[in-house]
Structure 1
């Protein structure tokens, strides 16, 4: 049986040990005759398994995207989701622009089991504003790479049209940029694998995509749009610890919930600490929404929240402005 050392050296069992050369000329001659090691993936995987089995090492494997199934038979009841990621010139969707759009379309079942990848989309775009050195450092995208590049918006719309759900790892960032690019994105339900997943409940100590992927045992070329889409797909498809099912199943459960957004407009200034302690957030009004404290709560908690506002904050009978928020409205720029 091949010894564990052979897994790293790749030597044939028929090779005999090389004797110590008598002269430097003999050593040079033997070095010239010795064939180079030919290590293939079988050796590397066996070595990785041996290291993992020792309990002293954790191994990260390079993520290889799933193949695109262009010819397949549709499964009854399956749905279609699209993972989207953008690279942009900055953080402000009202001024900055998309410089790369990546999408991966895949099938899924009602219980969150992920099926086949059925399409991918990736395109660069030359913006009307400069790409800074900092953005190049973060994304790896240089001005030369996008010169003369455009995104075919008709192709984007056709790619989006059959999707039941759009997923992003930071939908509050990506959705406004995507909707500014083309209106097809505004017609879809959205889910956020960052904001709508309680990763800490499943033993994850971070929520960044690179961390989640490494926790699952892979690494990838991050900060390029379609590569990040493939990475998120594998995170969502991976079984969670303690038989908790698939991450995609939990994400669907969160996305399907309807919440109420209650605006505490005109609330007394000296009540701000009480509102903040209860979970209210401040909106400065710059996005067109009320300049006010607000909170998002389950529908079942509506009456309880009204009682709190009337008795503890306003100390009078009020009917605060309330919005019903579903996956179709969530994460919009002004929603």
Structure 2
């Protein structure tokens, strides 16, 4: 924003009656040489023809490759990839309304699979905002993503505890006084990287550091096998989810919460001693993958 416009914005904000949102600018490189071990990360976003992992296709892929330190500080963007892809079927009208991507935009376009493999090869972590969607859309098309550690910026950062009411990128940016053109892959990547580089509002911890700390923890999926049907409301209130494939309620927890949860199940659900509840353990290597999707299986 130019200086005269900034002055106007400052006057408006100074009244207390207005909030001014500034257009997001791509993250600038951090000055100086890193004084800590550094790693390679990717921010990934896809636009698709729908949400059916088996039937729908990626029509736009955005990737930002960046260098970050052990502290969670982001130092610089190393490479950008932003490509369109023509699907087998016409793009649904609701997708065009959401993204602005038309059949004419993607006609004859193909995502360069070799470029995706090259840019992804040395990444220590892949981050997406709602990684369970992006990972399951990316893995079948680009096998290089299958063995990567994935993190979810939507669910692995405690946004609400840090003073945010919404989890969508647009809401989080607005809380920071920013806006962007949403629902285009590379624009969403730039928005997410900017959020990851910022300190959180309450704790002051860098958002990327908070995400990485959570992503490193193993997840245990505890199955409430054979739970009485009359306890389903208790389980739902406890944030258990139902797997139609396994006909069983389950919950995903950090490893250190499992014994507390077993005690709850014994006291409130089964009301008897029980020691053989099935549990699955997984890490960032397979979290959010179809391999750990209880409705799909490996």
TM-score by length of 2: 0.90
Contact 1:81 1:105 in 2 (8 A): yes
- The match for 2:253 is 297
Q: Secondary structure at the match of 1:59?
A: coil
Tell me what 1:142 maps to: 102
Partner of 1:226: 186
State whether residues 222 and 252 of structure 2, in contact with CA within 8 Å, keep that contact through their aligned partners in structure 1: yes
- Residue 49 of structure 1: which of 1, 4, 10 is its match? 10
Provide the secondary structure at the position in 2 that maps to 1:159.
helix
Counterparts of 2:280 and 2:86, CA distance in 1: 38
Residues 84 and 102, structure 1, Cα contact 8 Å, conserved in 2: yes
> Bigger CA drift: 192-201 or 94-103?
192-201
Distance 1:242 1:267 in 2: 39
Which stretch of the first structure deviates more once superposed, 219-228 or 55-64? 55-64
1:65 matched to 2:7:
no
What pairs up with 1:1-335 in 2 under 5 angstroms? Answer: 41-66=2-27, 76-242=36-202, 244-285=204-245, 290-310=246-266, 312-314=268-270, 315=272, 317-335=274-292
Higher relative helix content: 1
Structure 1 residues 58 and 313: alpha-carbon distance in aligned structure 2, compared to 1, 3 A threshold: closer
| Other structure's SS at 2:235 match | helix
Unaligned runs of 5+ residues in structure 2 are: 293-298
RMSD value, Cα: 2.2
User: For residues 66 and 298 of structure 1, do their structure 2 counterparts lie closer, same or farther at Cα, with a shift above 3 Å needed?
Assistant: closer
What residue number does 2:296 align with? none
Larger CA Rg, structure 1 vs 2: 1
Q: Residue 48 of structure 1: SS of its match in structure 2?
A: helix
Considering Cα pairs closer than 8 Å and 6+ residues apart, tell me whether 1 or 2 has the greater RCO.
2
Unaligned 5+ residue runs, structure 1? 1-39
Alpha-carbon distance, 1:122 to partner? 0.6
- 1:27-76 Cα distance to aligned partner (Å, 9 max, x none): xxxxxxxxxxxxx923222322333344333221111223689xx97765
Matched length: 290
